[in-house]
Chains A and B, each alone.
Chain A
Amino acid sequence: MKAPKTHNIYSPEYECMSRDALRELQNERLRRVVKHEYDNVAIYRERMDAKGIKPEDIKTVDDLRYLPFTNKTDLRDTFPFGLLAVPKRDIVRIQGSSGTTGKPIVSGYTENDVEVWTEMVARAIVAAGGGKDDIVQVCYGYGLFTGGLGAHQGATRIGAMTVPMSSGNTQRQILMMKELGSTMLCCTPSYAIYIGETVRDMGLDPKKDLRLKSGCFGAEPWTEEMRQRLEELLDIDACDIYGLTEIAGPGVSFECLEKKGMHVNEDHVIPEIIDPVTEEPLPYGTAGELVFTTITKEGMPMLRYRTHDICVLHDEPCACGRTTVRMGRITGRTDDMLVIRGVNVFPSQIESVLVSVKGVSPFYMLIVDRVHSTDSLEVQVEIEENSFSDTVSALENIRNEISEKVKSVVGISAKITLVSPKSLPRSEGKAKRVIDNRKL
């Protein structure tokens, strides 16, 4: 059962503010946070001094461009407490990410930071149709990872019945969903699809056996085609939600039921799009790297934090009534970029090819290797169960179509390997879609 397309708004006083009033609020909060950062965080002070900038030089959002950037490496280098802007005793929560290589990163939250984050997620769940009468099943992992606790706090805040399932044990997830009559789901989109497939495998009909109506899905990039599949499998409205631990966690931006881009919580963060190479700000409507400056965070405020996510910002008014800027889907990562035979390749480009080909699923794996000093790219993709026929030519046609499209979109030729449905890993966290075997 899909959610009725209502537009409930959790904090209309901020989410529907006039652009002028919002800009005024941002200016004032930015001035305050820059001073706080300069006074309390050595790295920020040194970098501003090096650029010859004093906090009083920053008067409005337009002055952001003069401020130095912050990178993930800064969080690693100063791990764990080097970027704290308050005494350690004022920190009430640590969240972080395990990090695939080397040191983890953590972020410290004051009581107010947890409060702000909770409100951001509450706004997201309400925008996805949630309210006091809902039963929200959270199957993001709980722990240092912000997904589980973030969704949990937000759902609890709006007075929904919150079910802290965490991730994994899919059959049990589904039984609880059925018995409790969960109405909303919060997890990664790939896990939600896996839940949907398992629901079908168990012989259940979401229309009859489940009461789900919508959900907030994030923590990994996904596509419109994955949304369609997810919405069909579970008969729900699937809203995108975005966030990162460095800024707060999930809820930094979120989709309303219009599903036309994620509203940024601009009273708490200022988004910018920059050219990843020249580092110059780009206008709305142009794709580039997303950069966030937090303007209410106390514990570990972030100054022009480079997300390395590629997307577009736009400020056309939304039918839901919110006035905040929206960000489009994350279409790539500046650091996911693979250089194969000298060509820049984004996994998202391959994904866009695969979703346009009938007969294959959006699950894929890219395998990059180097044989006799030549790079090779293999694309493994699952064939779709219902479209498998008995002729070799049908499968060869699919392969050729993918091969030609990859060549025209990416500019290099790839070996296309068709594999059985559900044979590629479904991840419960961020999906790993690239294996680079090159020994450089």
Chain B
Amino acid sequence: MNMTVKQISVFIENKPGTMVSITDALGTAGIDIRAMSLADTQDFGILRLIVSDTEKARAALASIGCVTSVTDVIAAVLPDTPGAMSGMVRLLAKNNINIEYMYAFISNTDKKAYIVLRIKDTDTAVKVLTDAGFSLAKSIN
């Protein structure tokens, strides 16, 4: 069973107004942004989005000239217990699984905290996490 969610990455030139045009384009297309994170350097950035309709969002972004790519990421529910986050990271490290990047968000609907993990070998990570009892999202509503 697929235990990952689709994430869109958008290439962002570091110039004023880029973010505005992106959010405008998604808004006009009626797309909800579930989670978002921006990785940036001095000259460019990569905006990562989890949205209500991935294909529609890509089309909307392409229409304003944005380059995008889609990646499968793991969205793990973070248990509401102290130290849960470091437990998860330590578990992955112990299994020699490298995290390329991660970010957190709180779902609007179930009010749970999620950790988005980008890992090269997704399948192994999914197995390690589920075996350890973490619950992974199949989609984000």
Contact = CB atoms under 8 A, between A and B. Distances in A.
Contact of B67 (A388, A392, A393, A417): A388
Contacts of A316: none
Contact of B11 (A396, A417, A420, A422): A420
A383 B68 CA distance: 12
Interface in B40-65: 41, 43-44, 46, 48, 65
A419 B56 CA distance: 24
A383 B65 contact: no
Given A388-B9, A391-B101, A396 B41 contact: yes
Given A420-B11, A423-B13, A423-B65, A390 B44 contact: no
Interface residues on A, range: 10 to 19
Contacts of A392: 39, 41, 46
Chain B interface bracket (under 10, 10 to 19, 20 to 34, 35 or more): 10 to 19
| Chain B, interface SS category | strand
A226 interface: no
B46 A420 contact: no
B11 to A, nearest CB: 6
Interface in A391-440: 391-393, 395-396, 417-423
B100 interface: yes
A385 interface: yes
A389 interface: yes
A418 B44 contact: yes
Contacts of B43: 417-418
Nearest to B9: A390
B136 to A, nearest CB: 19
A425 to B, nearest CB: 14
A40 B90 CA distance: 90
B71 interface: yes
B7 interface: yes
B46 A422 contact: no
B16 to A, nearest CB: 15
Contacts of A418: 11, 13, 43-44
Interface in A335-392: 383, 385, 388-392
Given A420-B65, A421-B67, A388 B13 contact: no
A395 B44 contact: yes
A386 to B, nearest CB: 9
B63 to A, nearest CB: 11
B46 A395 contact: yes
A418 B15 CA distance: 12
A421 B61 CA distance: 13
Contact of B68 (A388, A395, A417): A388
A383 B9 CA distance: 14
Nearest to B48: A390
A419 B67 CA distance: 10
Given A421-B67, A423-B65, A388 B11 contact: yes
A383 B100 contact: no
Contacts of B66: 420
Contacts of B101: 391
B41 A383 contact: no
Contacts of B100: 391, 393
B11 A383 contact: yes
Contact of A391 (B44, B46, B68): B46
A418 B7 CA distance: 22
Contacts of A389: 9, 69, 71
For B7, B46, B48, B67, the residue with the greatest tally of chain A CB atoms inside 10 Å of its CB is B67
Given A391-B101, A392-B46, A420 B41 contact: no
Given A390-B9, A417-B43, A420-B11, A383 B67 contact: yes
Given A396-B41, A420-B66, A423-B65, A390 B71 contact: yes
B9 A419 contact: no
Interface in B4-51: 7, 9, 11, 13, 39, 41, 43-44, 46, 48
Contact of A390 (B41, B65, B69): B69
B121 to A, nearest CB: 15
Nearest to A201: B62
Contacts of B71: 389-390
Given A385-B67, A390-B69, A419 B41 contact: no
A392 B10 CA distance: 11
Contact of B13 (A390, A391, A420): A420
Interface in B71-97: 71
Contacts of B39: 392
21 contacts: A383-B11, A385-B67, A388-B68, A390-B7, A390-B46, A390-B69, A391-B101, A391-B118, A392-B39, A392-B41, A393-B100, A395-B11, A395-B46, A417-B43, A418-B11, A419-B13, A420-B13, A420-B65, A421-B67, A422-B65, A423-B65
Interface of A: 383, 385, 388-393, 395-396, 417-423
Interface of B: 7, 9, 11, 13, 39, 41, 43-44, 46, 48, 65-69, 71, 100-101, 118
Those 7 A-B pairs whose CB atoms lie nearest each other, nearest first = A390-B9, A390-B71, A388-B67, A392-B39, A388-B69, A385-B67, A418-B44
Given A388-B69, A390-B7, A423-B65, 14 more contacts: A383-B11, A388-B11, A388-B68, A390-B9, A391-B101, A392-B39, A392-B41, A395-B11, A395-B46, A418-B11, A418-B44, A420-B13, A420-B65, A421-B67
